Structure 1
């Protein structure tokens, strides 16, 4: 049986929760301040890239689908592999209902270095619902921090007519802020149960990533593994 948290009376528990709440509220205010600084970032104009979509070549400005704001998840890609990056596949599987972004004049899409026919097949295989685009024949991925053979990234763009501007970028653990999965898991008494985490003595801990759902798991849950 796993080690358990200490058992205390209700007043002691409430006192310690209140102390934690002070730090949680401070973190919320700091995130508000970070978002305010993000809204004040300058931007850089992008060239007129042509990517590949399910229906053929498409200009970067057209990927906005009439919206003024665009979030792009740059998905890692391994040429010739049936199962692509498990972390990217798991992360993007969270986003199945994105219609609410219409109210904010925004869209969320996936861009990958894989050929578009392979990318669309993989999208179907794992049950991903976002629109996918390929930058295999464009320098777009390289220019926004997601080159062939490189890591994943998130980039945000603003469109003014036919002109597109890059407003924000992150990669690595910076992408976590977009995930509701990590937020839920971090509420659990045992947390993510990964060895790098600061946990009490005796807490269950496993190698990093070992509890993450893999690409085949995601396909079994949401898609068509045989596609």
Structure 2
């Protein structure tokens, strides 16, 4: 454990500096509100009629909505022949265990991966994932939305009008953090993520590669998979 610690001050000094930080935090919140407002004003693009594979067989992209009009898709990285898939994706999606809160908002959140559906569902069970999975192994859907075979992860949002589906938003990389509760919680800690890019005081624990403290896929399986309870 590092011996570096924040300076100790009196309560009034601490409150004054917290108040100064709060001004920036509130400004950031208002900026995020403005970003969300701009996102709601984005145009959209019509999607072809894709067919994906679900647990019960082929399903059209429109039917993946299951009657809702809005759909969030996490494109989970998949590497053919690997027993353990991307630990970042595995850990990231493990946090989504209760998604019914989206129903009143007329929305659904699912995982789509390039892996064959049987392998994908087996992996889902092994790591204890609670989300609904679909496979795009036999469809160009993944490649068309920024997640090609052997490629990276992504988040895409879609809007349905009858049987017609439109793509409204996309992000990847650190853009996915806004959907997570893990990084915001870690960022509250005095030592933060401890990664090399992080701006921290001299003497703070840092210098690690990005993701060095993420759990492996095996760790996720042990924590959330069969027998973990």
**TM-score > 0.5 by shorter chain:** yes
Match of 1:180 in 2: 181
d(CA) in 2 for partners of 1:208 and 1:36? Answer: 31
Given that 1:76 and 1:150 are in contact with CA atoms closer than 8 Å, whether structure 2 keeps it comes out as: yes
Which aligned segments of 4 or more residues in structure 1 are displaced greater than 3 angstroms?
none
Other structure's SS at 1:169 match:
strand
d(CA) in 2 for partners of 1:214 and 1:175? Answer: 19
Match of 1:221 in 2: 223
d(CA) in 1 for partners of 2:197 and 2:204? Answer: 12
TM score, norm. by length of structure 1: 0.98
Q: 1:90 offset after TM fit, Å?
A: 0.5
d(CA) in 2 for partners of 1:196 and 1:37? Answer: 29
Q: 1:224 offset after TM fit, Å?
A: 3.1
Other structure's SS at 1:159 match:
strand
Deviations 1:179-213 (A, max 9, x none): 10000000000001111101111111232211111
Map of 1:115-134 to 2, 5 A cutoff?
115-134=116-135
Other structure's SS at 1:198 match:
coil
Map of 1:90-101 to 2, 5 A cutoff?
90-101=91-102
Given that 1:127 and 1:222 are in contact with CA atoms closer than 8 Å, whether structure 2 keeps it comes out as: yes
Deviations 1:90-110 (A, max 9, x none): 000010000000010000000
Given that 1:86 and 1:215 are in contact with CA atoms closer than 8 Å, whether structure 2 keeps it comes out as: yes
Match of 1:211 in 2: 213
d(CA) in 2 for partners of 1:151 and 1:177? Answer: 18
Map of 1:132-143 to 2, 5 A cutoff?
132-143=133-144
Other structure's SS at 2:186 match:
helix
Match of 2:172 in 1: 171
Given that 1:75 and 1:110 are in contact with CA atoms closer than 8 Å, whether structure 2 keeps it comes out as: yes
Q: Which runs of 5+ in 1 are unaligned?
A: none
d(CA) in 2 for partners of 1:38 and 1:196? Answer: 28
Given that 1:156 and 1:168 are in contact with CA atoms closer than 8 Å, whether structure 2 keeps it comes out as: yes
Given that 1:2 and 1:204 are in contact with CA atoms closer than 8 Å, whether structure 2 keeps it comes out as: no
Map of 1:1-227 to 2, 5 A cutoff?
1-205=2-206, 206-224=208-226
Other structure's SS at 2:18 match:
helix
d(CA) in 2 for partners of 1:56 and 1:96? Answer: 24
Q: 1:89 offset after TM fit, Å?
A: 0.3
Deviations 1:55-79 (A, max 9, x none): 1000000000110000000000010
